[in-house]
């Protein structure tokens, strides 16, 4: 079970690597090691860990994003886009004017993403760029939409990443974040804790990446702010009309905001 303390929210100065306190400048390197280790098995592990639920949640994200079906130009930046899952889903749903930039700090995750993009024949529509969510390598007002799926909790300074999201969006641009959140259904939360702390690390061992990276992933979920405080952080970055919707009882949530 998760100690109540572990559900504490991130404050801006503390750097938590899972339940461990680390120096802020040390944290990103540790996160990068996790994704370098799991990159080749990341998609498989996602299916195993979530029982396939992550596919439904991502589909819901893309439904909310609602890319134009016409030839109208539509530029998405998918930050912490890893293996390009969100970008490929967006392109399958959208029209011929849709383009995506997958921006991720991990070269290993981008390598897996690039081979998926090539296998789907989407290289003309997707660029993959190495970059940090806290200092995006793009000019102001570049994109129509910004997505970040299961990425923002890995970032050391979430407030900085949110300000960067605001900066690179055009006025009228849509910010969408899919992230694990606070399960709000009694009983389901106990089951979820059991699954997270007992089952998931063992799955990591089974698929050969070891338990440790998954322990971090699970712990980092518990350190992430729940729905309303996170919505407050998004407003703080300048976004308006901030809302969220819970998925599977709040195990995950999609937060939405607009740069007006």
Ligand X SMILES: C[S@@+](CC[C@H](N)C(=O)[O-])C[C@H]1O[C@@H](n2cnc3c(N)ncnc32)[C@H](O)[C@@H]1O
Instruction: Give residues in contact with ligand X (CB under 6 A).
Output: 28, 31, 35, 79-83, 85-86, 104-106, 109, 132-134, 149-151, 154-155
In whole angstroms, the minimum distance from the beta carbon of 89 to ligand X comes to 10
In whole angstroms, the minimum distance from the beta carbon of 170 to ligand X comes to 21
105 and 133 Cβ atoms separated by less than 8 Å: yes
Which CB atom, from 160 or from 185, has the smaller least distance to ligand X? 160
Which CB atom, from 151 or from 250, has the smaller least distance to ligand X? 151
Which CB atom, from 42 or from 70, has the smaller least distance to ligand X? 42
| Three-class SS state of 186 | coil
Tell me which residue of 42, 204, 29 sits closest to 113, measured CA to CA.
Answer: 42
| Three-class SS state of 216 | helix
User: Which residue number places its CB atom closest to ligand X?
Assistant: 82
Which CB atom, from 154 or from 209, has the smaller least distance to ligand X? 154
Residue with tokens 């949110």: 162
Q: Where are the beta strands (DSSP E) in the chain?
A: 15-17, 20-22, 74-79, 98-104, 126-130, 143-149, 169-180, 240-247, 252-258
Residue 225 DSSP class: -
In whole angstroms, the minimum distance from the beta carbon of 27 to ligand X comes to 9
Which CB atom, from 82 or from 173, has the smaller least distance to ligand X? 82
| Three-class SS state of 196 | helix
| H or E, element range at 246 | strand 240-247
In whole angstroms, the minimum distance from the beta carbon of 43 to ligand X comes to 7
In whole angstroms, the minimum distance from the beta carbon of 132 to ligand X comes to 4
């Amino acid at each position: 079970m998760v100690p109540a303390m572990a559900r504490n929210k991130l404050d801006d100065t503390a750097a938590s690597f899972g339940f461990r306190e680390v120096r802020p400048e040390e944290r990103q390197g540790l996160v990068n090691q996790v994704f370098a280790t799991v990159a080749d098995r990341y998609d498989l592990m996602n299916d195993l860990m979530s029982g396939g639920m992550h596919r439904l949640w991502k589909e819901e994200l893309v439904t909310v994003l609602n890319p134009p079906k016409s030839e109208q130009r539509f530029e998405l930046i998918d930050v912490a886009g890893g293996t390009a899952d969100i970008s490929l889903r967006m392109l399958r749903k959208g029209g011929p004017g849709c383009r995506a930039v997958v921006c991720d700090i991990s070269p290993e995750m981008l390598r897996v993403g690039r081979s998926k993009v090539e296998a789907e024949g989407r290289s003309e529509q997707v660029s993959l760029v190495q970059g940090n969510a806290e200092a995006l390598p793009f000019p102001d007002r570049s994109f129509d939409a910004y997505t970040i799926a299961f990425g923002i909790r890995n970032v050391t300074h979430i407030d900085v990443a949110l300000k960067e999201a605001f900066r690179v969006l055009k006025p009228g641009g849509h910010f969408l974040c899919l992230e694990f959140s606070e399960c709000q259904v009694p009983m389901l939360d106990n089951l979820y804790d059991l699954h997270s702390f007992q089952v998931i690390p063992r799955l990591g061992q089974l698929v050969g990446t070891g338990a440790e990276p998954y322990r971090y992933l699970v712990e980092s979920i518990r350190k992430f702010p729940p729905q309303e405080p996170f919505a407050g952080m998004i407003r703080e970055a300048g976004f308006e009309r901030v809302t969220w919707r819970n998925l599977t009882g709040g195990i995950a949530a999609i937060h939405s905001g607009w740069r007006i």
